[in-house]
Amino acid sequence: MFENFGERVQMLFLQMVPFLMAIVIHEVAHAFVARRHGDHTAEKLGRLTLNPVPHIDPIGTLLFPAVNILTGIPILFGWAKPVPIDYNRLKPYRRGLFLVALAGPASNFLLGFLAALFLVAFSSLVPSSFYLYEPLRGMAFVAISINYALGLFNLVPLPPLDGSKMVESFLSYEATRQYEKLAAYSFFILLALLWSGALSVLAIPINFLSNLSIGIWAAIFGQLGLISM
């Protein structure tokens, strides 16, 4: 927890850029793959864009970061407005459903890997005397962990998270109807998992993937031991 309000605000701004990039690209990835499989709904509604404004959710994108300021939570938690997808238009349906759902988390894993590349390249090639050295390096660290966290969290198989749609792509119509009834309880289940500390288990793969990504790029740049999470 940060010592004062000023430090909290500073950390919020440090995290906001990679946070917005992570959630916006996550939603755009869903829309892009949906279009490739026959559904142009998101595109027609102006959601197939990297402009963050159409993707802003008042609660997930604005309120939760504000709560971070007040509580001192060190990592931003939030979400963008889900892109509208007409799953009945996906062709072929099952493969389209699976790939559209996977696209969001996959985009975050790719962003986390590329953020690790930026971190290692920047730390190796830019002198520490550069006036934006620490802020940009800090943003890179945040981008790595936020993207892996967002990608892994969305793979949790609770409706309406992406993991549930991936599961549904293998279910019959009736089984899908029964499975989607969980959506009414998902919020409370997630709260229980959060309060119980069960979700903290995600920190293990997040740290593993973050350190693995940094290690791969550090090895390529000949900078092993230079950087760690």
The pLDDT tens digits for 193-226 are 777 777 778 889 999 999 999 999 999 988 776 5
Report the chain's mean pLDDT, rounded to a whole number. 88
What is the mean pLDDT of the segment spanning 77-82? 82
pLDDT-based confidence at 43, cuts 50/70/90? very high
**Crossing angle of helices 133-154/203-220, nearest 10°?**
130
Which tokens belong to 96?
């389209």
Q: What is the pLDDT of residue 1?
A: 45
Q: How far is CA 219 from CA 127, 136, 144, in A?
A: 20, 21, 17
Q: What is the pLDDT of residues 53-63, one digit of tens each?
A: 999 988 888 88
In sequence order, which residues have a C-beta less than 8 Å from that of residue 149 and are 6 or more positions away?
A: 75, 202, 206
Higher pLDDT, 5 or 176: 176
